[in-house]
Amino acid sequence: MMMQVARTHRRAGLDADAVRVAYRRWAGIYDVVFGGISGWGRRAAAAEVNRLPGARVLEVGVGTGLALPIYAPEKRVTGIDLSTDMLALAQARVEAEGLKNVEGLFEMDAEQTSFADGAFDIAVAMFVASVVPDPRRLLAEMRRVVRPGGQILFVNHSAAERGPRWWVERAMAPASRALGWHPDFSFRKLLEPADFPRAQFRPVPPLGFFTLVRLAN
C-alpha cells in the first residue's frame, strides 16, 4: 500500500499553505507533544467508529496515524491529510505495525476531496475542524462522501464561552497561522443551527476538554 498524492487547496484565512507549513514544523514532535494530550479523544472516536455498522471508513486529517492501530481489523480505513511530512510518518506506522486494513493514505484537501459521492460508511475527523479554513465546507464534503444513513464523527476542543480559558483562547487566536489551528474554534462554526438538535455530543474524559460529536448523514 503506497501513499498517494492528490493536491487541491485554496487560500482563506488559515489557508492550506499555512497549515502545510505549520505541520511540517510539528511533524517530528507531534506524537510526543500532542499524542498524550489527544489520546483520550482519539481512542473515544476510534471506539465509536468500531461500534458503528459499515466497513468503509475515511479518517480526515490522519496526521501521523496515531489512531490507525486502534481501528478494528474489519474496518477498511482510508486516511487523508494535507501534510506530506505527517503522512510519511503515518505510512511508516502502517508498515511497522502491519496494518493490513489501511487501504490508502492520500495527500488531499479535506474540504475538496477526489472521492466519489457516498464512497464511505463513516467519516471521522479528529482535531481537524479547528484546523481547516472553512469548517462548514469540511462538513459539507464529509456529507458528500458518506453514504446516506452513514455516520459523521468529530472529536475536537471547543472554545470556552466564559472564564479564564475564554481569554487565553482569544488571545492566542491571532497566532492561528503559526500554530496551524484556531484556538478560538467553536462547534457553531462547524454545524448549521439545524444540526444541533440532531447531533449527539459527548464530553471526553478525564476533563471534558474535548467533545465527541456524532451526526447521522
Looking at residue 79, its pLDDT comes to: 98
The confidence band for 180, taking pLDDT boundaries of 50, 70 and 90, is very low
Q: Is residue 17 pLDDT above 70, yes or no? A: no
Dihedral angle of Cα 124, 160, 190, 112, to the nearest 10 degrees: -60
Q: What is the DSSP letter of 204?
A: E
Q: Mean pLDDT, to the nearest integer, of 178-200? A: 78
What is the set of domains in the chain, with CATH numbers? 3-216 (3.40.50.150)
pLDDT tens digits, residue range 142-165? 999 999 999 999 998 874 454 444
For the entire predicted model, the pTM comes to: 0.79
Q: Is residue 166 pLDDT above 70, yes or no? A: no
Higher pLDDT, 77 or 32: 77
148, burial (CB in 10 Å: exposed 0-12, middle 13-18, buried 19+): exposed
User: Over the Cα atoms of the chain, what is R_g?
Assistant: 16
Looking at residue 39, its pLDDT comes to: 83
The confidence band for 175, taking pLDDT boundaries of 50, 70 and 90, is very low
208: three-class secondary structure by DSSP:
coil
Looking at residue 168, its pLDDT comes to: 38
* pLDDT > 90: percent of the chain: 58
Integer Cα distance of 39 and 100 in angstroms: 22
In contact, 156 and 210? CB cutoff 8 Å: yes
Q: What is the DSSP letter of 130?
A: T
The confidence band for 20, taking pLDDT boundaries of 50, 70 and 90, is low
Looking at residue 176, its pLDDT comes to: 37
- In our burial notation (b when 16+ CB lie closer than 10 A, e otherwise), range 33-65 reads ebeeebebbbebbbebbeebebebbbbbbbbbb
Integer Cα distance of 210 and 217 in angstroms: 22
pLDDT tens digits, residue range 90-104? 999 999 999 999 999
Q: What sign does the CA torsion over 157, 101, 103, 27 have?
A: positive
Neighbours of 177 (CB within 10 A): 15
